[in-house]
Amino acid sequence: MVDVFEHAIEGIITAFREERNMKCHTVATVGMSFLGWFTGISAVEWALLVLCFGLVIGAEMVNTAIERTVDLAMPDRHPLAKAAKDVAAGAVLIAAMTSVVVGGIIFLPRLAIICHSVLF
């Protein structure tokens, strides 16, 4: 059982070290966490944000695994290899866009109130 966790943690570390997009997702996660703290979101809103963080980072890791597997199996260009990579990238895009919508639903009303109180 320990080996399973060791391999999983090694995979997480590898993804964060080697994938540029993971760094971008990490910055976004930290930024949204700060915004959540600053605006005082509810426990349910925190739960939704954490689910979004996990969804996007998990999708990015699956995308990375698919890309590396395809590259290993098919070093030359092939339409099926391209399709596999494109579909995996599309999954990340859907996860990210869903997270943007959830973030908008949570934060836009709060930010509008803050802006209104500052401006008026």
The 3-state DSSP composition of the chain as helix, strand, coil percent (nearest 5) reads 90, 0, 10
- Rounded to two decimals, the pTM is 0.88
Average pLDDT over residues 2-29: 92
Is residue 18 annotated as part of the catalytic site, yes or no?
A: no
Alpha-carbon distance of 82 to 103, in angstroms, equals 31
18 annotated as ligand-binding: no
**Location of structure tokens 């803050």:** 114
86 annotated as ligand-binding: yes
Provide the total of helices (H) and of strands (E) in the chain, helices listed first.
Answer: 4, 0
Give the CATH class of 2-119: mainly alpha
Q: What six digits make up the tokens of 31?
A: 């930024």
Set 6, 18, 45, 60: catalytic member: 60
Burial class (CB in 10 A: 0-12, 13-18, 19+), 111: middle
Domain boundaries, the chain: 2-119
- What's the pLDDT tens digit per position in 59-74? 999 999 999 999 999 9
